[in-house]
Amino acid sequence: MPRRRNNVALAIVLVVFAFCARYASAVGSTPHSTFSYKEGDPTGPEKWATLQKDWAICDSGTKQSPIDVAKVEVSKDLGPLEQNYKAGAAVVQNRGHDFMLNWTGGNGDLTIEGKKYTLLQVHWHAPSEHTVNGTRFDAEMHMVHEDSTKSKAVVAVLFSTKAGKPSKLLGDLKPYFERLAGKQNATEEVKGTVDPTAWIDNASGYYRYEGSFTTPPCTEGVLWSIMSKVADASKDEIDSIDRVKKSSVEPNARPAQTINSRVVRYYKAGATEGSAPAPAPAPGPT
């Protein structure tokens, strides 16, 4: 009987590991040991394009992310994001440069401009990678989606500690972040199920533009939707995101990239169409 139990436990571990590896590959994840976020470092953001041949677009690309959202075109044509998420069993993984949450079962999808995108995984950056009118926030959550053609769409949620209020989402995950700190590639199953339905507030509106992954290989063609409502979080919750390496707080945010000729569109029900400065993000819980 003990041997059988051990075999079952090993099988579960292998399934979870394979699942995490599958989704890490699907979204272009790269081992942290090969790049860093330290400016001036030989493996820092300004050197990413030189580290591997297929990373050249990190420097030569014209549609790189993140960006500073400063001017927008208000567009009623975009419409609200259509959620069809559902609760499911999930796993948290320390990827060496961030914490990632993905589902081991079905977790639903999101319809964007008529296309259905399945939610693959969620991960966090601290401080935020995107800025609005030059303002950087305390953290940023990326909800990574993929459609039937493997095209990617990311919904970003910004977090701020200014109000001093905790986040239910981050509060629930904080114990997992703390236990996995410093344990690269380690995973832990989340107790119960995780439901992403409440993580996106359509009433707040969003900024939309075409960009890239914010980590190597910096693949372009990613459709970004940055929610304009800023979520609350406590300092302890943000610090838990930062402590991927456990020994110290280490930022994992790529600097803002040149926007070039791209247009950032903004949608919010009732907004007047036309060019305008980016509306200041509104506070709100998540």
Q: Whole-angstrom Cα distance, residue 155 to residue 227?
A: 7
Q: Whole-angstrom Cα distance, residue 86 to residue 69?
A: 31
Which of left, alpha, beta for 198 (phi over 0: left; psi -120 to 50: alpha)?
Answer: alpha
**Count of CA atoms in the C-beta half-sphere (13 A) of 70:** 10
**Count of CA atoms in the C-beta half-sphere (13 A) of 36:** 10
- Among 83, 81, 89, 85, residue whose Cα is nearest residue 112: 81
Residues 6 or more apart whose Cβ sits within 8 Å of residue 8: none
Catalytic: 125?
no
What tokens were used for 68? 């500073």
- Among 215, 206, 221, residue whose Cα is nearest residue 253: 215
Q: Catalytic pick from 97, 125, 130, 142?
A: 97
What tokens were used for 166? 């905790």
What tokens were used for 69? 């959202």
For residue 236, report the phi and psi dihedrals to the nearest 5 degrees.
-60, -40
Q: Which residues are catalytic?
A: 97
